């Protein structure tokens, strides 16, 4: 073991910088994923074929392909098709596309778990499908799926480590750079692990709290 | 002067099961019609067809001079009405369900105000005053701020009735609204319905409550196997049913 306090402490500033990037990428990706998940989930429960079929294809594809492959495809594959995106955009997009697929499934399950009588009652009052979904079904579904959604957010934060492979200087990349520079492995990676712990522990706490709060009784 | 609701030769099946096999029924404005019959006879399905929560296969329904579900009769092809037209129809037809179906994330008052404000676009202050009046009418003025889960089944069902009334409907549909209630809670709901009937509300009621049918109904309809077997004024229906099957059913209900 080559842990050395001086190296560890010296690594902290650059790790912190990398962590800021990790948070930025995770934040944008999470926002986009929620949007994708909302649209995807609503399309999945739609009875219109032209809405639910593309959504099913999207969800199935993204769940079947490893995140790393998605990132590689966007980063190396798309430029050959004439679409050159910068690394950060690719990172955010790749993570969001994947997370959006899982979020779609979580939301679909949430919507379908709401008693059909709710939609019937809303429609019987003259509400349109859209209004009934927005005001009656979705708010109840969202509340119910908050715990699995935070779970998905934790996965997303951890998946940001994968964008280190496409030249983005986030937390893991900052650690490997430091390892090469100082020829010391244990110290920077201890810092990296600690960094992820710092990011995910509050989310894990939030998840546990939500699960207790919205426990299905 | 035509009937408020006209149902002609209504047919509906689920997969291979035929649920409605040619139902004809008219309900005049101000009339209270009670539909009884064994479970599986198609009563609830009939009700759901009236506001087109369930589509039907053949036949026609007209409400207040407007076709329900499909375009005007006589058209060459059967055209489903647009969502917009259906929503307009449903504004005027209130419905109360066996399972209450109150919105659990809204307070009692918000349950009543949601549709009048969001669907009719009426000013919230005006709707609120009216909602409070309706809650007082069903004896729940003190529960305006409560949430549905804090209420008993009977109270929830009275809120559900008030919620439907808040849209100022011309017709009220009641789908076995006391079936999910404990016996001691049925009375408070039936009382509200009786008061409503006395005020002249047009009501189409599916129920197993024979006492209610006898007292509050203008006409009683007996359904079996997707058909109307007998329809008669309440008194005649119970005191002198003409069909053997109706007599059997009344006897079987009363022996319980």
Q: What is the pLDDT of residues B118-151, one digit of tens each?
A: 999 999 999 999 999 999 999 999 999 999 999 9
Nearest residue of B to residue A120, measured between CA atoms? B53
Short-list A196, A115, A175, A97, CA closest to B102: A115
H helix count then E strand count, chain A: 10, 0
Mutate one of B85, B114, B169 to test the A interface: name it (highest A CB count within 10 A). Answer: B114
Enter the pTM of the model.
0.91
Specify the DSSP element, H or E, that contains B12: strand B5-14
Q: Which of B36, B66, B38, B37 has the alpha carbon at shortest distance from B171?
A: B66
Any chain B CB within 8 A of the CB of A208? no
The answer for residues whose C-beta is within 8 angstroms of residue A7's C-beta and 6 or more apart is: A182, A184, A187, A188
Domains, chain B? 5-92+170-255 (3.40.50.300), 103-168 (no CATH)
Contact B163 A125 (CB under 8 A): yes
CB atoms within 10 A of CB A149: 21
DSSP letters of B19-45? EEEEEEEEE-TT-EEEEE--TTSSHHH
Q: State whether residue B118 sits within 8 Å of chain A by CB.
A: yes
Nearest to A151 by CA among A111, A112, A209: A209
Nearest CB to A118 within list B91, B93, B101: B101
Instruction: Report which secondary-structure segment, H or E, holds B61.
Output: strand B58-63
**Cα dihedral sign, B83-B89-B90-B91:** positive
Strand intervals (E) in B120-180: 171-175
Beta-bridged to residue B230, according to DSSP, are B222
The reply to whether residue B97 touches residue A120, judged by beta carbons under 8 angstroms, is yes
Cα A104 from Cα B67, distance rounded (Å)? 38
How many H-runs (helices) and E-runs (strands) does chain B carry? 9, 10
Confidence of residue B175 (pLDDT cuts 50, 70, 90): very high
Q: Give the total number of structural domains in chain A.
A: 1
Where do we find the tokens 């006897």?
Answer: B251
d(CA A209, CA A188): 32
Residue ranges making up the domain that contains A115: 5-213
Q: Which residue has the tokens 């809670």?
A: B185
With beta carbons under 8 A apart, name residues in chain B contacting A131.
Answer: 118-119
- A vs B, Cβ pairs < 8 A, gives 61
Q: What interhelical angle do A171-182 and A5-45 show, nearest 10? A: 150
Residue B223 has pLDDT above 80, yes or no: yes
Per-residue pLDDT of chain A (217 residues; tens, 9 = 90+): 788 899 899 999 999 999 999 999 999 999 999 999 999 999 999 999 999 999 999 999 999 999 999 999 999 999 998 889 999 999 999 999 999 999 999 999 999 999 999 999 999 999 999 999 999 999 999 999 999 999 999 999 999 999 999 988 899 999 999 888 888 889 899 999 999 999 999 999 999 998 888 765 4
What is the rounded distance in angstroms from the CA atom of residue A59 to the CA atom of residue A99?
A: 10
User: What is the band of B256 on the pLDDT scale with cuts at 50, 70, 90?
Assistant: low
A126:B97 CB<8 A:
no
Please give the average per-residue pLDDT across B229-243, as a whole number: 92
pLDDT over 70, % of chain B:
97
CA distances for A174 relative to A19, A166, B35, B45, angstroms: 8, 13, 75, 65
CATH code (residue A36): 1.10.3720.10
pLDDT at residue B200, as a whole number:
95
Six token digits for residue B116: 């009048």
């Amino acid at each position: 073991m080559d842990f050395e306090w001086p190296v560890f402490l010296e690594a902290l500033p650059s790790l912190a910088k990398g962590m800021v990037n990790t948070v930025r990428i995770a934040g944008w990706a999470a926002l986009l994923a929620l949007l994708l998940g909302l649209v995807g989930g609503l399309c999945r429960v739609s009875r219109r074929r032209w809405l639910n079929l593309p959504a099913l294809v999207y969800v199935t594809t993204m769940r079947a392909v490893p995140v790393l492959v998605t990132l590689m495809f966007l980063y190396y594959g798309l430029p050959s098709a004439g679409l050159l995106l910068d690394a950060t955009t690719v990172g955010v997009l790749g993570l969001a596309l994947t997370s959006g697929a899982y979020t779609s499934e979580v939301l679909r399950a949430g919507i379908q778990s709401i008693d059909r009588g709710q939609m019937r009652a809303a429609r019987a009052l003259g509400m349109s499908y859209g209004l009934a979904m927005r005001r009656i079904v979705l708010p109840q579904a969202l509340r119910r799926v908050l715990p699995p959604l935070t779970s998905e957010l934790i996965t997303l934060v951890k998946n940001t480590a994968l964008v280190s492979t496409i030249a983005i200087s986030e937390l893991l990349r900052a650690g490997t750079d430091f390892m090469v520079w100082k020829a010391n492995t244990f110290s920077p990676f201890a810092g990296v692990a600690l960094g992820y712990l710092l990011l995910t522990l509050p989310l894990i706490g939030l998840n546990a709290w939500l699960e207790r709060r919205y426990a299905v009784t | 002067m035509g009937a408020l609701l006209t149902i002609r030769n209504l047919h509906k099946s689920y997969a291979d099961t035929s649920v409605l096999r040619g139902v004809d029924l008219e309900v005049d404005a101000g009339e209270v019609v009670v539909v009884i019959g064994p479970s599986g006879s198609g009563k609830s399905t009939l009700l759901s067809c009236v506001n087109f929560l369930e589509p039907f296969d053949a036949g026609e329904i007209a409400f207040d001079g407007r076709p329900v579900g499909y375009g005007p009769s006589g058209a060459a092809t059967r055209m489903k009405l647009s969502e917009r037209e259906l929503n307009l129809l449903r504004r005027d037809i209130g419905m109360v369900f066996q399972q209450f179906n109150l919105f659990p994330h809204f307070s009692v008052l918000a349950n009543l105000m949601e549709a009048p404000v969001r669907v009719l676009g009426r000013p919230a202050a005006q709707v609120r005053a009216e909602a409070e009046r309706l809650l007082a009418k069903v004896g729940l003025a003190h529960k305006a701020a409560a949430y549905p889960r804090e209420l008993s089944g009977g109270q929830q069902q009275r809120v559900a009735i008030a919620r439907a009334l808040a849209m100022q409907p011309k017709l009220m549909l009641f789908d076995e609204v006391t079936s999910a209630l404990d016996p001691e809670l049925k009375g408070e709901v039936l009382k509200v319905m009786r008061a409503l009937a006395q005020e002249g509300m047009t009501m189409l009621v599916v129920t197993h409550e024979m006492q209610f049918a006898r007292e509050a109904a203008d006409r009683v309809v007996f359904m079996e196997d997707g058909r109307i077997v007998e329809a008669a004024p309440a008194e005649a229906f119970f005191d002198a049913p003409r069909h053997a099957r109706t007599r059997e059913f009344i006897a079987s209900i009363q022996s319980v």
